[in-house]
Amino acid sequence: MLRSCAARLRTLWALCRPPVGRRLPGSVPRPELRSFSSEEVILKDCSVPNPSWNKDLRLLFDQFMKKCEDGSWKRLPSYKRTPTERIQDFKTRFLDPKLMKEEQMSQAQLFTRSFDDGLGFEYVMFYNDIEKRMVCLFQGGPYLEGPPGFIHGGAIATMIDSTVGMCAMMAGGIVMTANLNINYKRPIPLCSVVMINSQLDEVEGRKFFVSCNVQSVDEKTLYSEATSLFIKLNPAKSLT
Protein backbone atom coordinates (compact mmCIF):
# COMPACT_ATOMS: atom_id res chain seq x y z
CA MET A 1 0.00 0.00 0.00
CA LEU A 2 1.45 3.36 -0.95
CA ARG A 3 2.28 5.31 2.14
CA SER A 4 1.61 9.00 1.77
CA CYS A 5 3.29 8.68 -1.55
CA ALA A 6 2.18 12.10 -2.65
CA ALA A 7 3.59 13.70 0.48
CA ARG A 8 6.94 12.13 -0.11
CA LEU A 9 7.00 13.13 -3.73
CA ARG A 10 6.31 16.71 -2.67
CA THR A 11 9.06 16.60 -0.10
CA LEU A 12 11.61 15.19 -2.49
CA TRP A 13 10.79 17.86 -5.02
CA ALA A 14 10.78 20.68 -2.54
CA LEU A 15 14.00 19.90 -0.67
CA CYS A 16 16.11 22.91 -1.25
CA ARG A 17 19.80 22.67 -1.99
CA PRO A 18 19.98 19.22 -3.55
CA PRO A 19 22.59 17.07 -1.81
CA VAL A 20 25.88 17.50 -3.60
CA GLY A 21 26.07 15.14 -6.53
CA ARG A 22 23.39 12.81 -5.17
CA ARG A 23 19.88 12.07 -6.30
CA LEU A 24 17.79 9.28 -4.79
CA PRO A 25 17.52 6.34 -7.20
CA GLY A 26 14.19 6.34 -8.97
CA SER A 27 13.26 9.88 -7.97
CA VAL A 28 12.10 12.53 -10.40
CA PRO A 29 14.60 15.31 -11.12
CA ARG A 30 13.41 18.41 -9.28
CA PRO A 31 11.61 20.76 -11.64
CA GLU A 32 11.38 24.52 -10.90
CA LEU A 33 8.50 25.43 -8.60
CA ARG A 34 6.35 28.07 -10.22
CA SER A 35 4.29 30.09 -7.77
CA PHE A 36 0.79 30.78 -9.00
CA SER A 37 -1.34 32.25 -6.22
CA SER A 38 -3.50 29.14 -5.80
CA GLU A 39 -0.40 27.02 -5.84
CA GLU A 40 1.02 29.18 -3.04
CA VAL A 41 -1.79 28.02 -0.76
CA ILE A 42 -1.22 24.42 -1.71
CA LEU A 43 2.51 24.77 -1.36
CA LYS A 44 2.39 26.35 2.12
CA ASP A 45 4.85 24.47 4.30
CA CYS A 46 2.90 23.13 7.30
CA SER A 47 5.93 21.81 9.18
CA VAL A 48 6.76 25.10 10.87
CA PRO A 49 5.56 26.48 14.23
CA ASN A 50 2.07 27.95 14.38
CA PRO A 51 0.11 29.39 17.34
CA SER A 52 -1.32 25.96 18.23
CA TRP A 53 2.10 24.47 18.91
CA ASN A 54 2.60 24.09 22.66
CA LYS A 55 5.79 24.81 24.59
CA ASP A 56 7.11 21.23 24.42
CA LEU A 57 6.77 21.09 20.66
CA ARG A 58 8.45 24.45 20.13
CA LEU A 59 11.32 23.48 22.42
CA LEU A 60 11.93 20.22 20.61
CA PHE A 61 11.64 21.99 17.25
CA ASP A 62 14.34 24.47 18.28
CA GLN A 63 16.59 21.65 19.51
CA PHE A 64 16.34 19.84 16.19
CA MET A 65 16.77 23.01 14.14
CA LYS A 66 20.07 23.46 15.99
CA LYS A 67 21.05 19.96 14.93
CA CYS A 68 20.40 20.98 11.33
CA GLU A 69 23.07 23.67 11.46
CA ASP A 70 25.96 21.35 10.69
CA GLY A 71 24.02 19.62 7.89
CA SER A 72 23.75 16.24 9.61
CA TRP A 73 19.97 16.70 10.08
CA LYS A 74 17.43 18.14 7.60
CA ARG A 75 13.92 19.44 8.30
CA LEU A 76 11.37 18.07 5.84
CA PRO A 77 8.75 20.48 4.46
CA SER A 78 5.15 19.20 4.33
CA TYR A 79 2.21 20.28 2.12
CA LYS A 80 -1.57 19.93 2.13
CA ARG A 81 -1.87 18.80 -1.47
CA THR A 82 0.10 17.76 -4.48
CA PRO A 83 0.20 20.31 -7.33
CA THR A 84 -1.68 18.98 -10.38
CA GLU A 85 1.32 18.37 -12.60
CA ARG A 86 2.93 16.13 -9.97
CA ILE A 87 -0.26 14.08 -9.71
CA GLN A 88 -0.22 13.55 -13.45
CA ASP A 89 3.35 12.34 -13.27
CA PHE A 90 2.52 9.80 -10.54
CA LYS A 91 -0.48 8.53 -12.44
CA THR A 92 1.44 8.12 -15.68
CA ARG A 93 4.21 6.16 -14.04
CA PHE A 94 2.23 3.80 -11.84
CA LEU A 95 -1.44 3.66 -12.61
CA ASP A 96 -3.76 2.35 -15.29
CA PRO A 97 -5.07 5.61 -16.84
CA LYS A 98 -8.47 4.08 -17.65
CA LEU A 99 -9.26 3.59 -13.98
CA MET A 100 -8.50 7.01 -12.52
CA LYS A 101 -11.41 9.24 -11.48
CA GLU A 102 -10.90 12.89 -12.34
CA GLU A 103 -13.55 14.55 -10.16
CA GLN A 104 -12.07 13.47 -6.87
CA MET A 105 -8.70 15.05 -7.57
CA SER A 106 -9.80 18.63 -7.08
CA GLN A 107 -11.07 18.09 -3.53
CA ALA A 108 -8.34 15.86 -2.25
CA GLN A 109 -6.06 16.68 0.68
CA LEU A 110 -3.32 14.73 2.35
CA PHE A 111 -5.05 13.07 5.31
CA THR A 112 -2.58 14.23 7.95
CA ARG A 113 -2.99 17.84 6.78
CA SER A 114 -6.79 17.89 6.55
CA PHE A 115 -7.29 19.83 9.78
CA ASP A 116 -7.25 23.45 10.91
CA ASP A 117 -4.36 24.52 13.14
CA GLY A 118 -4.14 22.59 16.39
CA LEU A 119 -7.20 20.40 15.94
CA GLY A 120 -5.61 17.32 14.37
CA PHE A 121 -2.04 16.36 13.52
CA GLU A 122 0.62 18.97 14.28
CA TYR A 123 3.98 17.56 13.28
CA VAL A 124 7.38 18.10 11.74
CA MET A 125 9.92 15.53 10.56
CA PHE A 126 13.69 15.67 10.64
CA TYR A 127 15.96 13.28 8.73
CA ASN A 128 19.53 12.14 9.35
CA ASP A 129 20.92 10.64 6.16
CA ILE A 130 24.07 9.10 7.70
CA GLU A 131 22.18 7.25 10.43
CA LYS A 132 19.09 6.65 8.21
CA ARG A 133 16.89 8.00 11.00
CA MET A 134 13.62 9.87 10.67
CA VAL A 135 12.36 11.67 13.76
CA CYS A 136 8.82 13.03 13.90
CA LEU A 137 7.76 15.52 16.57
CA PHE A 138 4.01 15.07 16.96
CA GLN A 139 1.30 16.89 18.90
CA GLY A 140 -2.17 15.27 18.63
CA GLY A 141 -5.17 17.61 18.91
CA PRO A 142 -8.74 17.16 20.23
CA TYR A 143 -10.13 15.80 16.93
CA LEU A 144 -7.93 12.71 17.30
CA GLU A 145 -9.61 11.34 20.42
CA GLY A 146 -10.13 7.68 21.21
CA PRO A 147 -10.68 6.77 24.87
CA PRO A 148 -11.72 10.00 26.65
CA GLY A 149 -8.63 12.16 27.16
CA PHE A 150 -6.34 10.00 25.00
CA ILE A 151 -5.32 9.80 21.35
CA HIS A 152 -7.09 7.22 19.15
CA GLY A 153 -5.00 4.13 18.37
CA GLY A 154 -5.72 4.71 14.70
CA ALA A 155 -4.34 8.25 14.85
CA ILE A 156 -1.14 6.93 16.39
CA ALA A 157 -1.02 4.28 13.67
CA THR A 158 -1.40 7.00 11.02
CA MET A 159 1.53 9.03 12.38
CA ILE A 160 3.74 5.96 12.84
CA ASP A 161 2.92 4.90 9.30
CA SER A 162 3.72 8.36 7.92
CA THR A 163 7.05 8.48 9.76
CA VAL A 164 8.37 5.01 8.94
CA GLY A 165 7.07 5.44 5.39
CA MET A 166 9.00 8.65 4.94
CA CYS A 167 12.10 6.94 6.35
CA ALA A 168 11.74 4.13 3.81
CA MET A 169 11.15 6.56 0.98
CA MET A 170 14.30 8.56 1.69
CA ALA A 171 16.26 5.36 1.16
CA GLY A 172 14.17 3.68 -1.52
CA GLY A 173 12.24 6.25 -3.53
CA ILE A 174 8.58 5.41 -4.09
CA VAL A 175 7.57 2.60 -1.74
CA MET A 176 4.39 0.88 -0.59
CA THR A 177 3.58 -0.35 2.93
CA ALA A 178 3.32 -4.11 3.06
CA ASN A 179 3.22 -4.66 6.84
CA LEU A 180 2.68 -2.49 9.89
CA ASN A 181 2.98 -3.99 13.35
CA ILE A 182 2.34 -1.76 16.40
CA ASN A 183 2.58 -2.57 20.10
CA TYR A 184 0.83 -0.05 22.33
CA LYS A 185 2.41 0.21 25.79
CA ARG A 186 0.75 3.29 27.24
CA PRO A 187 -2.06 5.51 26.02
CA ILE A 188 -0.95 8.97 24.82
CA PRO A 189 -2.77 11.90 26.45
CA LEU A 190 -4.56 14.26 24.07
CA CYS A 191 -2.66 17.47 23.23
CA SER A 192 0.65 16.13 24.54
CA VAL A 193 3.85 15.98 22.46
CA VAL A 194 5.66 12.75 21.55
CA MET A 195 8.76 11.87 19.52
CA ILE A 196 8.53 9.12 16.92
CA ASN A 197 12.06 7.80 16.36
CA SER A 198 12.33 5.62 13.30
CA GLN A 199 15.30 3.75 11.88
CA LEU A 200 15.97 1.94 8.62
CA ASP A 201 17.07 -1.48 9.86
CA GLU A 202 17.69 -3.48 6.73
CA VAL A 203 17.40 -3.45 2.95
CA GLU A 204 16.93 -6.72 1.02
CA GLY A 205 16.50 -6.08 -2.66
CA ARG A 206 13.22 -4.15 -2.93
CA LYS A 207 12.31 -4.71 0.74
CA PHE A 208 12.87 -2.01 3.33
CA PHE A 209 12.58 -2.86 7.04
CA VAL A 210 11.92 0.11 9.31
CA SER A 211 11.30 0.14 13.07
CA CYS A 212 10.37 2.93 15.45
CA ASN A 213 9.47 3.81 19.00
CA VAL A 214 7.20 6.54 20.35
CA GLN A 215 8.51 8.34 23.42
CA SER A 216 7.75 11.28 25.65
CA VAL A 217 9.71 14.50 25.26
CA ASP A 218 12.03 13.61 28.19
CA GLU A 219 12.49 10.09 26.75
CA LYS A 220 11.41 8.57 30.08
CA THR A 221 8.07 7.16 28.89
CA LEU A 222 7.75 4.61 26.09
CA TYR A 223 4.28 4.83 24.53
CA SER A 224 4.56 2.39 21.64
CA GLU A 225 6.89 0.41 19.41
CA ALA A 226 6.43 -0.61 15.81
CA THR A 227 8.05 -2.55 12.99
CA SER A 228 7.20 -2.25 9.33
CA LEU A 229 8.01 -3.55 5.88
CA PHE A 230 7.94 -1.42 2.73
CA ILE A 231 8.29 -2.56 -0.86
CA LYS A 232 9.89 -0.43 -3.56
CA LEU A 233 7.47 -0.04 -6.45
CA ASN A 234 8.27 -1.33 -9.90
CA PRO A 235 7.30 1.36 -12.45
CA ALA A 236 6.90 -1.29 -15.12
CA LYS A 237 4.01 -2.84 -13.18
CA SER A 238 0.68 -1.02 -12.84
CA LEU A 239 -0.81 -0.67 -9.35
CA THR A 240 -4.42 -0.87 -10.50
Partner 1 sequence: MIRRCFQVAARLGHHRGLLEAPRILPRLNPASAFGSSTDSKFSRFLPEKTDLKDYALPNASWCSDMLSLYQEFLEKTKSSGWIKLPSFKSNRDHIQGLKLPSGLAVSSDKGDCRIFTRCIQVEGQGFEYVIFFQPTQKKSVCLFQPGPYLEGPPGFAHGGSLAAMMDETFSKTAFLAGEGLFTLSLNIRFKNLIPVGSLVVMDVEVDKIEDQKLYMSCIAHSRDQQTVYAKSSGVFLQLQLEEESPQ
Any idea which residues carry the catalytic annotation?
161
Do residues 175 and 228 lie in contact, with contact meaning Cβ atoms separated by under 8 Å? no
- From 219, 146, 228, 227, select the one nearest 188 (Cα to Cα): 146
Q: What is the CA radius of gyration of the chain?
A: 17
Q: Cβ of residue 198: shortest distance to partner 1, in angstroms?
A: 15
> Judged by CB, which is closer to partner 1: 7, or 170?
7
> Judged by CB, which is closer to partner 1: 120, or 173?
120
Q: Cβ of residue 70: shortest distance to partner 1, in angstroms?
A: 33
Q: Cβ of residue 34: shortest distance to partner 1, in angstroms?
A: 19
Summarize as ranges the residues that interact with partner 1 (CB under 8 A): 1-7, 82, 87, 90-91, 95, 99-101, 104-105, 107-112, 114-115, 119-120, 142-155, 157-159, 161-162, 176-187, 189-191, 222, 239-240
Going by their DSSP bridges, the two strands 133-140 and 121-128 should be labelled as antiparallel
Q: Cβ of residue 63: shortest distance to partner 1, in angstroms?
A: 26
> Judged by CB, which is closer to partner 1: 33, or 95?
95
What secondary structure letter does DSSP report for 80? S
> Judged by CB, which is closer to partner 1: 33, or 108?
108
**CA 59-17-208 angle, 5° bins:** 75
- From 52, 47, 39, select the one nearest 86 (Cα to Cα): 39
Q: How many whole angstroms separate alpha carbon 10 and alpha carbon 234? A: 20
Do residues 159 and 104 lie in contact, with contact meaning Cβ atoms separated by under 8 Å? no
Do residues 106 and 97 lie in contact, with contact meaning Cβ atoms separated by under 8 Å? no
